[in-house]
Amino acid sequence: MSENICPQNKIIFDAERGEYICTETGEVIEDRVIDQGPEWRAFTMEEKEKRSRVGEPLNMAIYDKGISTFIDKRNKDATGKNLSQKARLTAIRWRKIQAISRIQSSRDRNLTQAMNELERIGNLLAIPKVAMNEASIIYRRALEKGLVRGRSIESVIAASIYTACRKLKIPRTLDEIAQYTKGDKNEIAKIYRTLIKELDIKVPIADPKDYVTRIGSLLGLSGASMKLAADILEKAKHTDAVWGRDPAGLAAAAIYIAGLINKEQITQDRLAKVAGVTEVTIRNRYRSIINALNIKLKHLP
């Protein structure tokens, strides 16, 4: 659909309005996708269930077999007598096959489900292909390392997507990604941190400037104002107005200031909604940036 109009990585998804938007031209690629959203999700869920219904009996078959003819380590037969040498060797081989087939099938089932989830979330958020690939690589590595055990596949996939986006500097907030999963934001954040640590992934520090284009285009901001906002952030880069602050909030504040300067004012309310922060945060960031850079606006103490 949209690939023809715009290079894939320039398209963003505005979940609030249910539109795909090109970050370069600000043009709406396809609206009302939200109407399809639920069906998409329902469809996937159905499919997931269908899959599990197909998968389950097979699964049970393997397990039944495994349990009913479970080969323990005692090397005794049913009557308690020791097995012959030959029977013992056979038993060892059986145990190996049993272990391998169980591991492989569970790994495959896991990956199948994970890739479905990746596809689903990726589509909903219009994640670029490169990031999808990156996410799938990250997930596979996590799976090999046993990091998925004890966590939901969906959450680990969500964290993988977030990690891939961070790594490739694609501005997606945790909230946006969490929105389409059952798990909550904090759970995904925690897994994200684990992934970074355990897989030794280097992630560039989130740059508020990356969010300017995104937020700006969602609000129909002029290119000049976006440029100004980016410049403001660049200047504030090494001040304590920026240190350790939420990049989305900083971007929103910079856009707000740029809007004031360029007489292209955007209300804090709208900005807050799009940036995913509160008005109060924007106000705080905006005040500290103004102080740090000594920007003079008419109404200042």
Partner DNA sequence: AAGACGAAAGTGGTTGA
Partner DNA sequence: TCAACAACTTTCGTCTT
Q: Does 245 bind DNA (CB under 7 A)?
A: yes
Between 157 and 252, whose beta carbon lies closer to DNA?
Answer: 252
Q: Does 152 bind DNA (CB under 7 A)?
A: no
Q: Does 299 bind DNA (CB under 7 A)?
A: yes
The distance of closest approach from Cβ of residue 258 to DNA in the complex, given in angstroms and rounded to an integer, is 13
Residues 6+ apart with CB under 8 A from 173: 248, 276
Radius of gyration of the CA atoms of the chain, in A = 26
Pairing, β 28-30 against β 19-22: antiparallel
The distance of closest approach from Cβ of residue 284 to DNA in the complex, given in angstroms and rounded to an integer, is 7
Between 120 and 245, whose beta carbon lies closer to DNA?
Answer: 245
Pairing, β 19-22 against β 11-14: antiparallel
3-state helix, strand, coil in the chain (%, to 5): 65, 5, 30
Q: Does 268 bind DNA (CB under 7 A)?
A: yes
**Cβ–Cβ under 8 Å, residues 167 and 201:** yes
x/- mask, DNA, residues 170-189, rule CB under 7 A, reads ----------------x--x
Q: How far is CA 281 from CA 54, 88, 186, 253, in A?
A: 49, 70, 20, 8
Rounded distance between C-alpha atoms, residue 72 and residue 92, angstroms? 9
Between 122 and 249, whose beta carbon lies closer to DNA?
Answer: 249
Residues 6+ apart with CB under 8 A from 76: 82, 83
Between 83 and 203, whose beta carbon lies closer to DNA?
Answer: 203
The residue within the footprint of DNA, chosen from 279, 292, 293, 295 (CB under 7 A), is: 279
Q: Does 44 bind DNA (CB under 7 A)?
A: no
Q: Residue holding tokens 């890739």?
A: 115
The distance of closest approach from Cβ of residue 225 to DNA in the complex, given in angstroms and rounded to an integer, is 14
**Number of DSSP helices (H) and strands (E) in the chain, helices first:** 11, 3
The distance of closest approach from Cβ of residue 266 to DNA in the complex, given in angstroms and rounded to an integer, is 7
The residue within the footprint of DNA, chosen from 246, 261, 262, 273 (CB under 7 A), is: 246
x/- mask, DNA, residues 183-222, rule CB under 7 A, reads ---x--xx--x-----------------------------
> Contact residues for DNA (CB under 7 A)?
186, 189-190, 193, 243-246, 249, 265, 267-269, 276-281, 283-284, 286-287, 299
